[in-house]
Amino acid sequence: MPAQSHTPAQPHSSAQSQGSARAHNDELSPRLRAIADLMPGGMREGAGMHEYDGRAADLSPKGVSAALAKLGGRPLADPHDEAHLSAFENALRYELGELQWHRANPLYHAGEMDLSGYDREYASEAERDAARTAHLRLWPGLADNAIAALDRLPAPIAQSLLGAVRGLAEGIPDSVPEDVRREALAAHARLLSHVEHAAEHGPDSAALGTEALSRLMGTGEAMEVDLDALAARADAERDRLRAKLAEATERLAPGRDPMEFSRELTRQHPDTDGVLGAARTWTRIALDFTEERGLAPYGDGECRVDVPPPALRWATAMMAWSGPWEQDNPSFYYITPPDSELSEAEAAEWLEQFSHTTLPAVSVHEVAPGHFSHGRALRRAPSEVRRALHSMTFAEGWAHYAEEMCLEEGFGAYAAERLGDPDWTADHFEIGVWLEALIRVTRLSVAIGMHTGTMTVEEAAARFSEDTPLQGPAALSEARRATFDPTYGRYTWGKLEIMALRERAREQWGSEFSLPRFHRALLELGSPPLGLIPAALDA
């Protein structure tokens, strides 16, 4: 997943000069500015608008209401960009105005306090240190606003995000002035205490309900979402993936149970010290394959592999790209190692997510032609709306689509030749693709089940343990994520829509169809709401 915040924010009273950190100094149009002021974390981390460095959001109920009132205005001249912009406005009005999700979900508030973005080398160390310190000075007010807002915090969400909230304080460097540190840590302690209290005493259910989930998923994607139909599509996709997995495992282990054999494969993984090195190897192979086959419009830029900052370690792997509004700086493919508090057995289970079988597909997803390649295209998107406003359903759908598309295009054989390891074959990559896809489709099923009230966290964890190779803490972590990330079924949903559009392009373009043409036309739209992707067919 791309590491970017989409938390809402209030317009700010102070600016932090960024100088050389900004690649584009153009002024935003008023409607886009109103959206950007509502989500400065997303603008800073996803779009690279470092004018929002050292700034944060007033997420109190009154602050959010005032910011929502500023949305809207004169229609844009370009119909596609108008629809794109309107979808984001409508999503914010529903998510924060009607649903008031920021009053039940600490992730919004943690996102506004998050300092991890300043670790990425998008500007000089002095600039980033100054911005971090300015941001820390806001923590007392941010924590108080969070405590005031989080009056509907369910226990399952609080329990799921305790680690992320605790991790916020680990991002404070020693160089911060002592008075700033002291006040920030006191504010953090107040917020943590509030979340800990909710973890024990908050409402038992985190379920949004059928109508709320449908509208939360669809409004920002400019689509109507029928959850029953989408759940049926998820079931059909799970059946297809199981059949494909069985075919692939049969070639390596005839007669064996597909998931049992797959779990044996996932237990073959680098140790904690070797994960980053393995990820760097797969990053290089994925980049080379993508460039040689022309699978992404742009192949420039630098991608580094590293451990994420503590506040981002709730996810196993993610991409922090160089945003369109900043100088062209390195992007980071983050890999989360096992927590030091895990037992040896639990750490081994966590590392199964980076097995020799699954890490190649994870790297294709996060790097090329997945998120990193997408980020390179976003820097060239033809309008400010397309550069700034990123649908995560499209972004994750694109990266997930890239995994199976690379399988179709022969990545497994290509990688086997590059590795020269007789114990790793093209079949291992194929098995990894199907295993990763089973995790993503299970997310979709679990999100629908949990938020329509038909599945508990424990039942969701059992579902992951049954339908995917994930076990123990990894399966529980995936299940808990659904409580605070109810749209995390977006991976499979986005993939299915992109695949369906590709078939329409084959029919419509006929002999003029090619994957490079289709991919360029699609990414020319930026990271559009899912309901708007058919515009690529007009390219």
- pLDDT one-digit tens code per residue, 281-290: 999 999 999 9
Distance CA 195, CA 189 (A): 10
| Predicted confidence (pLDDT) at residue 22 exceeds the cutoff of 70 | no
Tokens of 5: 């915040």
Pairing of strands 331-335, 303-306: parallel
CB of 522 closer than 8 Å to CB of 427: no
pLDDT of residue 244: 98
Distance CA 129, CA 175 (A): 8
Give the pLDDT mean for 515-519: 98
Distance CA 306, CA 335 (A): 6
| Predicted confidence (pLDDT) at residue 23 exceeds the cutoff of 70 | no
* Model pTM score: 0.92
Work out the percent of the chain whose per-residue pLDDT is above 90.
82
DSSP 524: T
More confident residue, 8 or 475: 475
Q: HEC string of 358-399?
A: CHHHHHHHHCCCCHHHHHHHHCCCCCHHHHHCCCHHHHHHHH
| Predicted confidence (pLDDT) at residue 15 exceeds the cutoff of 90 | no
Give the pLDDT mean for 26-30: 83
Give the pLDDT mean for 197-211: 96
Tokens of 232: 């049926």
CB of 323 closer than 8 Å to CB of 394: no
More confident residue, 156 or 341: 156
pLDDT of residue 150: 98
Residues 6+ apart with CB under 8 A from 283: 303, 305, 333, 363, 367, 368
pLDDT of residue 350: 79
Q: In terms of Cα–Cα distance, which of 116, 65, 88 is closest to 388?
A: 88
pLDDT of residue 271: 87
Angle between helices 275-293 and 411-419 (to 10 degrees): 130
| Predicted confidence (pLDDT) at residue 345 exceeds the cutoff of 70 | yes
Pairing of strands 317-320, 331-335: antiparallel
| Predicted confidence (pLDDT) at residue 513 exceeds the cutoff of 90 | yes
**Residue-level length of the chain:** 539
pLDDT of residue 25: 43
CB of 297 closer than 8 Å to CB of 520: yes
- Per DSSP (E only), the strands in 266-388 are 303-306, 317-320, 331-335
HSE-CB of 226 using CA atoms within 13 angstroms: 4
Tokens of 487: 């749209």
Q: In terms of Cα–Cα distance, which of 422, 430, 426, 428 is closest to 412?
A: 426
| Predicted confidence (pLDDT) at residue 174 exceeds the cutoff of 90 | no
Give the type of residue at 452: T
The per-residue pLDDT for range 79-96, each reduced to its tens digit, is: 999 999 999 999 999 999
Most confidently predicted of 326-330, 340-344, 508-512: 508-512
Domain definitions of the chain by residue range: 19-153+155-204, 227-538
Residues 6+ apart with CB under 8 A from 316: 335, 336, 350, 353, 354, 474
pLDDT of residue 27: 80
Give the pLDDT mean for 7-16: 28
Q: How many helices (H) and strands (E) does the chain have?
A: 24, 3
DSSP 338: P
Residue 326 pairs in a beta bridge with 22
**pLDDT tier for residue 9 given thresholds of 50, 70 and 90:** very low
The per-residue pLDDT for range 217-244, each reduced to its tens digit, is: 999 999 999 999 999 999 999 999 999 9
Give the pLDDT mean for 317-338: 92
Tokens of 50: 């470092």
CB of 40 closer than 8 Å to CB of 56: yes
Q: Where does residue 232 rank: exposed (0-12), middle (13-18), buried (19+ CB within 10 A)? A: exposed
DSSP 93: I
Handedness of CA 88, 90, 95, 100 (dihedral sign): positive
CB of 83 closer than 8 Å to CB of 205: no
**pLDDT tier for residue 8 given thresholds of 50, 70 and 90:** very low
The per-residue pLDDT for range 289-312, each reduced to its tens digit, is: 999 999 999 999 999 999 887 766
| Predicted confidence (pLDDT) at residue 129 exceeds the cutoff of 70 | yes
Residues 6+ apart with CB under 8 A from 278: 270, 354, 356, 359
Listed in sequence order, the DSSP H helices in 175-226 are: 178-201, 210-219
How confident is the prediction for the chain on average, in pLDDT?
Answer: 92
Sheet with 303-306: strands ordered across:
303-306, 331-335, 317-320
**pLDDT tier for residue 24 given thresholds of 50, 70 and 90:** very low
pLDDT of residue 26: 55
Distances (CA, A) of 98 to 143, 243, 352: 23, 42, 41
More confident residue, 201 or 316: 201
**pLDDT tier for residue 6 given thresholds of 50, 70 and 90:** very low
DSSP 97: I
pLDDT of residue 13: 26
pLDDT of residue 314: 62
Distance of CA 211 to the CA centre of its chain: 24
HSE-CB of 437 using CA atoms within 13 angstroms: 30
pLDDT of residue 229: 97
| Predicted confidence (pLDDT) at residue 432 exceeds the cutoff of 90 | yes
pLDDT of residue 520: 98
More confident residue, 246 or 15: 246
Q: Where does residue 273 rank: exposed (0-12), middle (13-18), buried (19+ CB within 10 A)? A: exposed
pLDDT of residue 311: 60
Q: In terms of Cα–Cα distance, which of 95, 103, 105, 131 is closest to 21?
A: 131
pLDDT of residue 272: 82
Distances (CA, A) of 36 to 275, 417, 517, 525: 36, 46, 31, 19
Count of CB atoms situated within 10 Å of the CB of 366 = 30
Give the pLDDT mean for 353-377: 96
